[in-house]
């Protein structure tokens, strides 16, 4: 399992603050996780792929999209509205 946390306006946009996602071999990078989440619909896609203010951490360390994931990781997405 991967624990996923949402902060900032993402909590309101998605209607949840956290969830757990089954870890699979195809879900082995942050980019893979974002692709999976973005496939849930337009709100998810826009918030996670088109938001320049999006910050991502894995186990409380800032990471890039190509950063590796493993079972047991905690991934946090932080985004605030920018005007």
At residue 81, the pLDDT reads: 66
At residue 32, the pLDDT reads: 95
Q: Which residues, 6 or more positions from 43, have their beta carbon under 8 angstroms from its beta carbon? A: 13, 14
**What's the Rg (C-alpha) of the chain?**
12
Residue numbers of the chain with a pLDDT score lower than 70: 81-83
Helix axis angle for 30-38 and 42-49, nearest 10°, is 150
Question: For residue 28, how many C-alpha atoms fall within 13 Å in the half-sphere facing its CB?
Answer: 2
CATH architecture observed for domain 2-79: Roll (3.10)
Indicate yes or no: pTM above 0.75. Answer: yes
At residue 25, the pLDDT reads: 84
Instruction: List the domain boundaries for the chain.
Output: 2-79
Distances in Å between the Cα of 30 and the Cα atoms of 35, 57, 69, 82, 83 are 9, 9, 7, 23, 26
At residue 67, the pLDDT reads: 97
At residue 26, the pLDDT reads: 82
């Amino acid at each position: 399992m991967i624990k996923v946390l949402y902060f900032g306006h993402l909590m309101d946009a998605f209607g949840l603050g956290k969830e757990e996602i089954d870890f699979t071999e195809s879900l082995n990078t942050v980019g893979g996780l974002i692709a999976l989440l973005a496939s849930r619909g337009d709100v998810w896609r826009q918030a996670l792929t088109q938001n320049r203010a999006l910050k991502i951490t894995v186990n409380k360390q800032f990471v890039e999209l190509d950063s590796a994931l493993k079972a047991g990781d905690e991934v946090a997405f932080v985004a605030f509205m920018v005007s």
